[in-house]
Amino acid sequence: MSKVYIYTGLVVLAMASTLLLLYYAPTIACKEVTMIKLPIQSIDDVRLLFPTSPKEIQHRAHCAMERAREAINDIIALDDAERNFNNTALAFDRIAALSELPVTMSAIEIIEYVHPDQAMREAAHKTQIAMREFIVDMISNNHDVYQSFKAYTLQKKEQLRPDQKYFLQETMADFKRAGLDLTPDKLEQVKTLHKALAALGMQFETNIATDNKTITVTREALAGLDEDFIKTLSRTETGEYILGTDYPTYFYVIENADDAQTRKNFFIAMNNRGYPDNEHILKNIIAKRDELAQLIGFSSYAHLDLDSEMAKNPEVVEKFLKTLYAKASKKADQEYALFKQHLPKLVQLTAEGKLYPWDVAYVKNLYKKQHLAVDEKRISEYFPMEHTIKGLLAIYEKFFQLRFEQIPATNFWHQDVQLIAARSALDDTLLGYLLLDLYPRPNKYNHACHATLVPAIVDEHGKPLPEVSLVIANFPKSTADKPSLLKRDDVRTFFHEFGHAMHGLLGRTRLASQSGTSVKRDFVEMPSQMLEEWLWDKEILKMVSSHYKTGEQLPDDLIENIKKLKHFDSGDWTQRQIYLASFALALFGPGADKNPHALQEHYCQTLRPHVLFWPEDHMYTSFGHLTGYASRYYGYLWSKVFALDLFGYIKEHGLLDPEVGHRYVQEVIGRGGSRDPNALLKDFLGRGPNDQAFLADLGL
């Protein structure tokens, strides 16, 4: 891998400028370029979303930008007296969220995440830089567009719907947070910073995805691991076994390998993906984000970042985390006292009585086996991938009144891709297409996520237009002897990401910018976290389980043992989430010059007192949320409060009750980002949300 230094942003931007000259070259005739078809009508239209060559990536991007430029200029050119919601606000919404520009950009971003061909990934990466520069100049930081909106809002001639008023309110606030009230010279500085940050963020993510670190071990060092797993491993010329840092391999080894040195070496490899390149990039991102916040008038990037969220500012988040930490710590103390009381013979504590970080998952796993009769390997035998998918789809079909049809997926980027058509069970209306890319491979995005390509909207006649989205995961592949078997955590991940897909599919709004998951970032995880809770229910576990040999559902005794895990390590889990949230918040707090490693050490030692901080741990270089969520990582805990409150209400009425599902869609996820989340929650619950269910769920 090529080295990336602090000046990378400048180099990449120089490359982007060259690329833009190529894109705007008059030799490209857009009428001759194959473009996407909207609205989506068929599977062929879904295939057409994805360019199939580097040249096509470039040409499509060029034409999408040129058409968007023309449409934006049409908005700007209007006489202010002629402005109305449709020709100004709605026109901008369609350009920004439902035109060739955002759809093409999403498709190109996905190509970089998942395409097996290096030339395609590189073309996608370079093209995104150009497109993000274009978006800064023409959409997010376009002073003339802001003036057009401002002129329209001052007229107040129309009677607007609540969602239209909310769109104007949020969009104008976004424009001001983008610095569009600044003097021209300062606005140019803001634009330059946004462009540089976009390039740096992309490089940060690319370095994670392409860092295919491995360790090699002897056969003896694999003691405790299943023979079937060992057979799947590649070997060196000298016969040693190769362990790659994909998630299925890592979690299996770190939980089950008896050899402490194997666990240690693997922990260090996993937590140093992207290091040292991404450390330099992250420091640059921190400095530029701080400079950006100062220019716009905020005391820190965290204050700017949270200004649009439910929490509003870092002080509210800090109070939330501090209050929760006090409660979680008592539970964590009890958990670690229990673990130490039953410490495996192969595990040694530090001189201060702490666990080494590579021993934590191993100790927990052994305790579950020996004292709770929970063997995760045995449980995974009840979750073969194919049956689990069918079970999950059946649950969502019933609760959301949907019908899913699995369709042969050919001529996509990889043979592993699966395709599902989603229809209304009531009138068979096509609601959208869901793509699944679920198995690991080299240079593929190595976490799990959901991405929307075409947002779900209803047209002016109330007719739903089909949505398209993708779920990416990295689950173990089938072997010659066994189908792909999912661990409980894999099943939970699947439920979580498919929950985002349901939010995207059913969050059908009139304005594309408010569709689906386009909600406040500290609320976006709520629907997925709420659906994860289904997996603690006996009936649901029966529906999604089927032993890969016998077809038997999870037996009652095993389900009861699984339920014991509900509060098993909730204290430590909460402490870890608070540690990550506090670390992310601190990185983007006041000040441009930060030492990420020192901050990581501080927050780890302060907030995870039972686990030793290891100096070779640079996990922040592979902490992808730092570019996307930035200081808003707290959102996972924040939104879980609402998720558990809603889940408790739904469970009272029936987890598979389609009437409750209909209300949930109509009053919560079906509204997308068209209303404040607090109002959505109050509509559904009949009261304001509270944290009682959250604290009870954690056993606090």
Q: Catalytic amino acids?
A: 497
- State how far the alpha carbon of 64 is from the alpha carbons of 57, 271, 368, 413, in Å: 11, 39, 54, 22
For residue 581, what are its two tokens?
Answer: 């949230």
Among residues 299, 295, 334, the alpha carbon closest in space to that of 315 is found at 299
Which helix or strand (DSSP H or E) is residue 214 part of?
A: strand 214-217
Query: b vs e for 32-47, b when ≥16 Cβ sit within 10 Å of the residue's Cβ?
Result: ebebbebebeebebbe
Measure the CA angle with vertex 605, ends 333 and 595; round to 5°: 155
- For residues 587 and 626, the answer to whether their CB atoms sit within 8 Å is yes
Among residues 396, 446, 452, 448, the alpha carbon closest in space to that of 424 is found at 396
- For residues 518 and 672, the answer to whether their CB atoms sit within 8 Å is yes
- State how far the alpha carbon of 297 is from the alpha carbons of 304, 307, 542, 675, in Å: 9, 12, 55, 27
β 214-217/241-244 pair status: antiparallel
Interatomic CA distance for residues 302 and 304, integer angstroms: 5
**Residue 82 contacts by C-beta under 8 Å, 6 or more apart in sequence?**
none
- State how far the alpha carbon of 663 is from the alpha carbons of 182, 513, 657, in Å: 44, 23, 10
Q: Specify whether the backbone of 309 is left (phi greater than 0), alpha (psi in -120 to 50) or beta.
A: beta
CB atoms within 10 A of CB 566: 12
> What DSSP line would sit under 418-484, residue for residue?
EEEEEEETTT--EEEEEEEE-S--TTS--S-EEEEEE--EE-TTSPEEPEEEEEE--PPPP-SSS--
DSSP summary character for residue 197? H
Among residues 130, 117, 143, 172, the alpha carbon closest in space to that of 25 is found at 130
- For residues 583 and 636, the answer to whether their CB atoms sit within 8 Å is no
Interatomic CA distance for residues 217 and 242, integer angstroms: 7
For residue 590, what are its two tokens?
Answer: 């006041």
**Amino acid of residue 581:** A
Strand partners, 485: 384
Phi, psi of 355 (to 5 degrees): -90, 145
For residue 700, what are its two tokens?
Answer: 């606090």
- State how far the alpha carbon of 113 is from the alpha carbons of 43, 304, 472, 495, in Å: 21, 28, 9, 21
For residue 439, what are its two tokens?
Answer: 């198995």
**Amino acid of residue 409:** A
